[in-house]
Structure 1
Amino acid sequence: MSTVPVSWSHGVRAAVADAVTFWFPVACAGCGALDVDVCEGCRAAVTPRPRRLPLLPDVDVISAVEFDGAVARMIRAFKSDGRTSVARVLAPALAAALAAAPPGATVTTVPASRAADRRRGYRPVDLLLRRAGGRAAPLLRVRRASADQRGLGRDARRTNVAGVFAARTPPAGTVVVVDDVVTTGATLREAVGALRAAGAEHVLAVTLAYTPRRTHT
């Protein structure tokens, strides 16, 4: 049985890689610069500057960076375009926000719908948390379908996600609920409400990013 020479095989793979790069060149997820996954300038844009704001009268949300410019484009590329490698660039900022949580807190994530998980093939928030060195306890689940929140106003967002989550009974202590971006806070408030209904006494919210237009309510 004949075999393909190793050098020839390597040559074919190199030629294929060159062809793919020619037709589908790598571009920075933040600014579009060619031949780099994320350029140094866009990496610098994800330098964490944690900000703490009230989510509910007795629950705060801590966010690492502002959802704007290169950061917003990188998060969209990670969530919507399947560029999972960008998680390694975003994760240190999330880790900085998580550092404000009490030691020993139970960490969980805001789940997406099953349809969204199937469409992407991965769970963005869970992947981001793992890259940040955390591990999620599966406390929350989606119990009904909701529309995409993008493009909805504050009141419409609140109505859209009302009652969307159910939760398992959490262990004693603080529960930290993690999401990627907080806009109006409607989704996180529903997640906190579900956790409290299941018995959580102390809850803290953490996100990678917050939208510049977000107010304290």
Structure 2
Amino acid sequence: MPIPPSGARAALAEALALLFPTWCAGCDLPGASLCADCALALVPDLRVRRLADGLRVHSALAYEGVPARVVRALKEDGRTSLARPLGAALAAAVGAADPDGDVHIVPVPTSRAALRRRGYRVTELVAVRAGLTPERRLLARAPAADQRGLGRAERAANVSGTMRARDAAGLRILLVDDVVTTGATLAEAARTLREGGAEVVAAATVAATPRHGILTARRA
């Protein structure tokens, strides 16, 4: 039997998750994919971080507690129905990053290994659920080692030179990703697009790890 495309697989997984919920992704409460209390924990609490290259990264949530568990359930457990509440958080971060909305939304590319493992592109799925139109064609990614477990310098070295911009010259771009940790991947994506002639105005993510970053501040 032929394997459906990744978008169809994600849609099927999301439909099954809605029909047959098992436990809350945030607290393990039986009978709901996301309980009311954990849904409240995903209400955006906007913050902004500036990376070493000057790129502003707006994030909706702190990557800890319930938000971290929900993101991991989406990324590692295939619970694609969670892309919708996380999409609402991403939409808030995008609105803070570019209030005018006059930008091209470019997701940080998914690695081939991650796509094979999950069957769908996490950031693009969340962006679509946020009501955005991600333009994957503008930025491509070559193979690189898994970033998990790497320190700041190792992450930067690992992603250096791994991306390619396509037809981005003259465009105003807002980068989106699921989580910002050290910012190495976003910085490399921004550098690549700028070298390709684009203006990268900012970045937006669902969540940010609280222990990293040169400058971190909350925004009301």
TM-score range, shorter chain: 0.7 to 0.9
Counterpart Cα distance in 1 of 2:107 and 2:131: 14
Select the structure with the greater relative contact order (CA < 8 A; seq sep ≥ 6): 2
Counterpart Cα distance in 2 of 1:80 and 1:182: 17
Percent of matched pairs sharing the same residue:
47
Counterpart Cα distance in 2 of 1:62 and 1:82: 26
Task: Name structure 1 gaps, 5 residues minimum.
Answer: 1-16
Counterpart Cα distance in 1 of 2:58 and 2:94: 8
Q: CA deviation at 1:205?
A: 0.9
2:39 maps to: 43
Do 2:57 and 2:203's aligned partners in 1 also have CA atoms closer than 8 Å? yes
Task: Name structure 2 gaps, 5 residues minimum.
Answer: 1-15, 216-220
Counterpart Cα distance in 1 of 2:123 and 2:53: 25
1:142 maps to: 141
Counterpart Cα distance in 1 of 2:166 and 2:53: 23
Q: CA deviation at 1:215?
A: 2.1
Counterpart Cα distance in 1 of 2:213 and 2:51: 10
After superposition, what is the alpha-carbon deviation per residue over 1:94-145, rounded to whole angstroms, capped at 9, x for unaligned? 11011121322111100111222122111110000000000111211112x2
Counterpart residue type for residue 38 of structure 1: L
Counterpart residue type for residue 28 of structure 1: C
Counterpart Cα distance in 1 of 2:73 and 2:202: 27
Alignment counterpart, residue 61 of structure 1, candidates 45, 50, 57: 57
Choose 117-126 or 180-189, whichever is displaced more. 117-126
Counterpart residue type for residue 196 of structure 2: A
> Any residues of structure 2 matched to 1:5-154 within 5 Å, and which?
26-100=22-96, 101=98, 102-137=100-135, 138-143=137-142, 145-154=143-152
Aligned length, in residue pairs: 195
Do 1:106 and 1:171's aligned partners in 2 also have CA atoms closer than 8 Å? no
Counterpart Cα distance in 2 of 1:57 and 1:165: 17
Aligned CA RMSD, in angstroms, stands at: 1.9
Q: CA deviation at 1:169?
A: 2.7
